[in-house]
């Protein structure tokens, strides 16, 4: 900075005014140099204003929380006209639905007409025509036919503004659509607009309803620049709408006997934020950055309500609004940009320790869940293993083989049991005795019948027969008896014991044949009986086994599915752990960079200051003993004062 230009022609007052006006040049030059030295990514974290460096404010928040209403109020739209103006700006959207479709910049019209500038400029006399134009714009946007890469400028008719509103802040105000849009196109648009306009904004108004403070939760603020609000709180203001209508607030007001001032409501807001979200220490986010506000008809209607709530609270609301006006004007100055740059490193360390602690708690929480899930997984693995062993223990049944072997054994039984009567004395008793002996033998054989022998493949299948599976042997006697009944009744009819075979009409041969046939039939009946019985038992056993197999398989499947589910949960947890750790690291690195950047900025400032002071002193020396030299020395002292003012901020 060279003050040796020919300023001697200036009078002392003009010269002093000139030097005074330049008292911060060194700081702004340092700021510019510092900005130029930053990477683009880092530079984006600082306010640089609009395209031409002009200051602007951006509102950000969920849909339908009152962003547009707030902006209109800040611009000075009169409360009586606010409803009409927002109806037009809704572009035909029903109340309650997301209203602002794209980034809009509002300005006061020089006349009483609406104007809109997009592809060209259009003007409308009637509200309805303007609303239709906005509605058409929204439709084109939703259909993806409108690529919006800069805000649409809307001039609001001058007659909508109140007298006092005409002196509103001369700042560009950008209205962004809600950050929870209804479809993908809107989502991409909001993200793109926020990415584009939030970074360089001088002030970002984070707007949310007082009865839903979750908009401040770190998880809710997903856009990177918005997440910065805890890092550079000076660039943000937290504005809550609907702040004075909740019953809890009204109750608190009623029971408060002391004076109701802005501080009272700010304190309340802070404690509510801390109740529903994370800590918000005063030293990091000073109360002056919090704005509990209320707008709209339902609030102004309270003026007529019987309670004196409105009378007590409205002056505070008005005061807060005035403060926000002043705040916005102040924030949009180069000095404020300087200050917010300095703030970065002051807050970085503290934010780092607070956020890292929160992160560590979250990570510890996830670790706890991982340990829990590991135990669950071990239990699940054991269960699966047990089920598989149980399943393997249930042998596989080959029913064909079992039935074939059973059939073969029954056939062998029949073959073995078949006898011929042999030589029988021609006597009735001898035949009866033969029947009785044969019957006993057949019964004994039948009792000894086993469906499989040890060596057979089906041996294991038949193991451990239960008593209820055994044949009721009394049934054999009855079956055998039935086969001999006709022969027996013939024998019972004879009066003589002895047959006289040589006598014509003797029945001996016939009875002998009958005896043989009955014996054969008895064998057949018993073998059928045996076969049917064991077939039935085998059927049951096979069904039971199959059932057990199915159940075991189901158990294995269930255990496997449960284990897979545990696995999925475990991998979700592992990836969220990884994600948190990565974010934590990135955040920590960012904070370190911020701090380091702040230090660098201080160094830039100091260099620039020393340079400027030296420059003025040298200029003073070069002037010799002259009034200008004195003014230059005084201005060097002024620089020292400004420097300590700037660095004092450093210590607050």
Ligand X SMILES: Nc1nc2c(ncn2[C@@H]2O[C@H](COP(=O)(O)OP(=O)(O)OP(=O)(O)O)[C@@H](O)[C@H]2O)c(=O)[nH]1
Query: Using CB distances below 5 to 8 A depending on partner kind, what does residue 181 bind out of ligand X, Mg ion, none?
Result: none
Give the CA distances from residue 85 to residues 68, 95, 348, in Å, rounded to whole numbers and listed in that order: 10, 13, 42
Of 240-279, binders to ligand X (CB under 6 A) are 241-242, 245
**Contact yes or no for 209/240 (Cβ under 8 A):** yes
- Element housing 332 (H / E): none
Give the CA distances from residue 500 to residues 199, 271, 296, 497, 509, in Å, rounded to whole numbers and listed in that order: 132, 127, 133, 10, 11
The answer to whether 44 contacts ligand X (rule: CB under 6 A) is no
* Structure token digits, residue 51: 């395209």
Candidates 26, 55, 68, 115: give the one binding ligand X (CB under 6 A).
68
**Contact yes or no for 242/210 (Cβ under 8 A):** yes
Candidates 15, 45, 67, 138: give the one binding ligand X (CB under 6 A).
67
The answer to whether 169 contacts ligand X (rule: CB under 6 A) is no
DSSP single-letter state for residue 455: T
The interface region with ligand X, picked from 96-104, 315-323, 508-516, 640-648 by CB under 6 A, is 96-104
* Structure token digits, residue 44: 């984006």
| Residue with the shortest CB distance to Mg ion | 100
* Structure token digits, residue 298: 């339902």
Query: Using CB distances below 5 to 8 A depending on partner kind, what does residue 277 bind out of ligand X, Mg ion, none?
Result: none
The answer to whether 100 contacts Mg ion (rule: CB under 5 A) is yes
Which strand ranges, in their side-by-side order, compose the sheet holding 121-124? 121-124, 114-117, 152-156, 104-108, 172-175, 56-61, 203-209, 236-241, 290-292
CB of 180 to Mg ion, least distance (A): 12
The interface region with Mg ion, picked from 93-101, 475-483, 519-527, 585-593 by CB under 5 A, is 93-101
The interface region with ligand X, picked from 12-20, 59-67, 414-422, 598-606 by CB under 6 A, is 59-67
**Contact yes or no for 316/262 (Cβ under 8 A):** yes
Task: Closer to Mg ion by CB, 59 or 480: give it.
Answer: 59
DSSP single-letter state for residue 5: S
Query: Using CB distances below 5 to 8 A depending on partner kind, what does residue 421 bind out of Mg ion, ligand X, none?
Result: none
The interface region with Mg ion, picked from 63-71, 234-242, 262-270, 396-404 by CB under 5 A, is 63-71
* Structure token digits, residue 83: 């409803």
Among candidate residues 46, 59, 48, 41, the one with its CA nearest the CA of residue 151: 59
Task: Closer to Mg ion by CB, 99 or 317: give it.
Answer: 99
Residue 221 gets the label, from left (phi > 0), alpha (psi -120 to 50) or beta, of beta
**Contact yes or no for 274/280 (Cβ under 8 A):** yes
Task: Closer to ligand X by CB, 177 or 451: give it.
Answer: 177
Candidates 3, 202, 228, 294: give the one binding ligand X (CB under 6 A).
294
The answer to whether 298 contacts ligand X (rule: CB under 6 A) is yes
Give the ranges where 418-507 is alpha helix by DSSP (H): 428-448, 474-493
Task: Closer to ligand X by CB, 49 or 83: give it.
Answer: 83
> Which residue shows structure tokens 């209109």?
72
Task: Closer to ligand X by CB, 312 or 377: give it.
Answer: 312
Q: How far is Cα 499 from Cα 487, in angstroms, rounded to an integer? A: 15
Task: Closer to Mg ion by CB, 100 or 527: give it.
Answer: 100
DSSP single-letter state for residue 210: T
**Contact yes or no for 155/87 (Cβ under 8 A):** no
Candidates 72, 85, 88, 99: give the one binding Mg ion (CB under 5 A).
99
CB of 339 to ligand X, least distance (A): 29
CB of 287 to ligand X, least distance (A): 20
**Contact yes or no for 204/60 (Cβ under 8 A):** yes
CB of 591 to ligand X, least distance (A): 31
DSSP single-letter state for residue 430: H
The answer to whether 100 contacts ligand X (rule: CB under 6 A) is yes
The interface region with ligand X, picked from 17-25, 66-74, 333-341, 563-571 by CB under 6 A, is 66-74
- Per rule CB under 6 A, count of chain residues that contact ligand X: 22
| Residue with the shortest CB distance to ligand X | 66
Q: How far is Cα 256 from Cα 516, in angstroms, rounded to an integer? A: 119
User: How many other CB atoms are there within 10 angstroms of residue 29's CB atom?
Assistant: 16
CB of 361 to Mg ion, least distance (A): 36
Query: Using CB distances below 5 to 8 A depending on partner kind, what does residue 359 bind out of ligand X, Mg ion, none?
Result: none
Give the CA distances from residue 336 to residues 55, 68, 102, 201, 433, in Å, rounded to whole numbers and listed in that order: 11, 25, 28, 12, 130
The answer to whether 527 contacts Mg ion (rule: CB under 5 A) is no
Q: How far is Cα 527 from Cα 532, in angstroms, rounded to an integer? A: 8
The answer to whether 60 contacts ligand X (rule: CB under 6 A) is no
Among candidate residues 231, 241, 243, the one with its CA nearest the CA of residue 586: 231
Task: Closer to ligand X by CB, 64 or 132: give it.
Answer: 64
Among candidate residues 609, 649, 616, 608, the one with its CA nearest the CA of residue 634: 616
CB of 291 to ligand X, least distance (A): 11
CA angle (636 as vertex; 634, 641 as ends), nearest 5: 95
CB of 83 to Mg ion, least distance (A): 14
The answer to whether 68 contacts Mg ion (rule: CB under 5 A) is yes
The answer to whether 99 contacts ligand X (rule: CB under 6 A) is yes
Please enumerate in sequence order all residues whose Cβ is within 8 A of that of 77, keeping only pairs 6 or more positions apart, or say none. 85, 156, 160, 161, 162, 165
The answer to whether 302 contacts ligand X (rule: CB under 6 A) is no
The interface region with Mg ion, picked from 97-105, 423-431, 485-493, 524-532 by CB under 5 A, is 97-105
Query: Using CB distances below 5 to 8 A depending on partner kind, what does residue 66 bind out of ligand X, Mg ion, none?
Result: ligand X
The answer to whether 207 contacts Mg ion (rule: CB under 5 A) is no
The answer to whether 340 contacts Mg ion (rule: CB under 5 A) is no
The answer to whether 197 contacts ligand X (rule: CB under 6 A) is no
Q: What are phi and psi of 152, to 5 degrees?
A: -85, 130
Give the CA distances from residue 8 to residues 17, 25, 463, 614, 621, in Å, rounded to whole numbers and listed in that order: 14, 21, 124, 20, 15
Candidates 46, 60, 106, 299: give the one binding ligand X (CB under 6 A).
299
Task: Closer to ligand X by CB, 101 or 612: give it.
Answer: 101
The answer to whether 69 contacts ligand X (rule: CB under 6 A) is yes
Task: Closer to Mg ion by CB, 53 or 96: give it.
Answer: 96
Site residues (vs Mg ion, CB under 5 A): 67-68, 99-100
Residues making contact with ligand X (CB under 6 A): 63-69, 86, 95, 98-100, 177-178, 241-242, 245, 294-296, 298-299
């Amino acid at each position: 900075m060279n003050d040796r230009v020919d300023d001697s022609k200036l009078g002392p007052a003009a010269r002093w005014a000139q030097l005074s006006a330049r008292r911060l040049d060194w700081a702004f030059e340092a700021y510019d140099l510092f900005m130029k030295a930053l990477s683009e990514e880092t530079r984006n974290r600082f306010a640089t204003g609009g395209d031409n460096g002009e200051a602007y404010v951006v509102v950000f928040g969920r849909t339908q929380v009152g962003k547009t209403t707030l902006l209109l109020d800040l611009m000075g739209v009169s409360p009586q006209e606010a409803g009409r103006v927002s109806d037009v700006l809704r572009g035909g959207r029903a109340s309650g639905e997301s209203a602002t479709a794209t980034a809009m910049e509002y300005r006061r019209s020089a006349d009483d007409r609406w104007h809109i500038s997009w592809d060209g400029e259009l003007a409308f006399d009637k509200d309805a025509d303007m609303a239709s134009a906005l509605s058409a714009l929204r439709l084109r946007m939703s259909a993806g036919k409108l690529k919006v890469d800069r805000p649409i400028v809307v001039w609001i008719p001058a007659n909508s503004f109140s007298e006092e509103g005409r002196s509103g802040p001369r700042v560009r105000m950008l209205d962004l659509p809600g950050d929870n849009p209804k479809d993908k196109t809107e989502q991409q648009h909001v993200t793109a607009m926020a990415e584009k306009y939030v970074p360089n904004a001088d002030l970002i108004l984070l707007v949310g309803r007082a009865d839903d403070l979750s908009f401040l939760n770190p998880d809710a603020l997903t856009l990177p620049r918005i997440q910065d609000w805890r890092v550079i709180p000076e660039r943000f203001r937290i504005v809550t709408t609907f702040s004075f209508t909740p019953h809890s607030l009204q109750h608190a007001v009623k029971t408060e006997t002391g004076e109701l001032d802005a501080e009272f409501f700010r304190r309340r807001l802070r404690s509510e934020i801390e109740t529903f979200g994370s800590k918000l220490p005063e030293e990091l986010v000073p109360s002056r950055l919090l704005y509990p506000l209320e707008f709209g008809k339902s609030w102004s209607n309270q003026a007529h309500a019987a309670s004196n709530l409105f009378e007590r609270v409205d002056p505070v609301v008005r005061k807060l609004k005035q403060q926000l006006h002043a705040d916005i004007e102040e924030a949009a100055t180069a000095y404020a940009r300087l200050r917010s740059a300095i703030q970065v490193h002051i807050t970085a360390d503290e934010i780092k320790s607070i956020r890292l602690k929160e992160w560590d708690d979250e990570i510890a929480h996830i670790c706890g869940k991982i340990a829990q899930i590991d135990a669950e997984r071990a239990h699940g693995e054991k269960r699966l293993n047990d089920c598989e062993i149980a399943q393997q223990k249930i042998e596989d049944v080959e029913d064909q083989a079992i039935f074939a072997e059973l059939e073969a054994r029954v056939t062998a039984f029949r073959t073995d049991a078949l006898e011929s009567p042999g030589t029988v004395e021609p006597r009735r008793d001898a035949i009866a005795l033969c029947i009785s002996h044969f019957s006993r033998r057949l019964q004994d054989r039948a009792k000894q019948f086993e469906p499989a022998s040890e060596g057979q493949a089906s041996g294991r299948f038949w193991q451990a027969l239960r008593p209820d599976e055994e044949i009721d042997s009394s049934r054999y006697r009855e079956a055998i008896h039935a086969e001999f009944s006709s022969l027996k009744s013939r024998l019972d009819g004879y009066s003589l014991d002895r047959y006289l075979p040589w006598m014509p009409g003797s029945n001996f041969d016939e009875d002998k044949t009958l005896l043989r046939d009955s014996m054969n039939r008895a064998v057949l009946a018993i073998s059928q009986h045996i076969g049917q019985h064991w077939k039935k038992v085998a059927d049951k056993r096979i069904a039971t086994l199959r059932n057990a197999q199915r159940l075991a398989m189901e158990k294995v499947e269930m255990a496997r599915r449960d284990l897979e589910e545990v696995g999925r949960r475990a991998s979700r947890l592992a990836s969220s752990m990884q994600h948190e750790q990565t974010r934590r690291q990135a955040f920590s690195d960012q904070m370190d960079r911020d701090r380091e950047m702040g230090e660098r900025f201080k160094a830039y400032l100091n260099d620039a200051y020393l340079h400027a002071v030296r420059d003025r002193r040298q200029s003073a020396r070069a002037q010799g003993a002259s009034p200008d030299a004195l003014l230059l020395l005084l201005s060097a002292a002024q620089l020292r004062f400004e420097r300590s003012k700037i660095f004092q901020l450093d210590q607050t």
